[in-house]
Chain A
């Protein structure tokens, strides 16, 4: 699976949009981009995933660049409860290796 690069930490003001970048320059055509978050030692929580097109759900939006080498997770109106470590993960669509490979993630702190 392709390696991802994320900033170590970011701050965001409450009520503002949080934009979390992820670089995955070695991504291949058969790999999805997944985002998970982990709030203070709780189980990782699935947020969103995408292949080529931008995606939106009730939690967030995922913007993937046209060359697919980077993506941005957008939390439109961050709240204090969004403070967490956010993981960007790339995983192949098919094949026997279905596990997720977690990096260090981005510690997002939402400030009041």
Chain B
């Protein structure tokens, strides 16, 4: 158990819909990362938040957005869903300020868009 929690574990929805994925980082970790893993793309970085502020952006679609709240949990919002958005979504958290900043991953949310 990494200490990172994600809800829900599974999500089934229809095209055009909007969903919210939630992540709670390990106690003390200020930074949260979101990654997407699809069959054809592998694990890809989407976005990073640090202490409530966006810090880095990867291959995140404009239909996707994220935020980090004062209690440090983060939400990833996916809208106008398409079949190709079906994937595993992982969040990871890390301590910031050390040279290593090792990331610890949650168990993921499996999204299926029908």
Contact = CB atoms under 8 A, between A and B. Distances in A.
B56 A99 contact: yes
Given A41-B88, A98-B31, A104-B42, A49 B108 contact: no
The majority secondary structure among interface residues of chain B is strand
Contacts of A94: 99
Interface size grouping (class) on chain B: 20 to 34
Interface residues of A, number: 23
Given A98-B56, A98-B94, A99-B58, A43 B106 contact: yes
The majority secondary structure among interface residues of chain A is loop
A66 B45 CA distance: 31
Nearest to B108: A43
A37 to B, nearest CB: 11
A42 B108 contact: yes
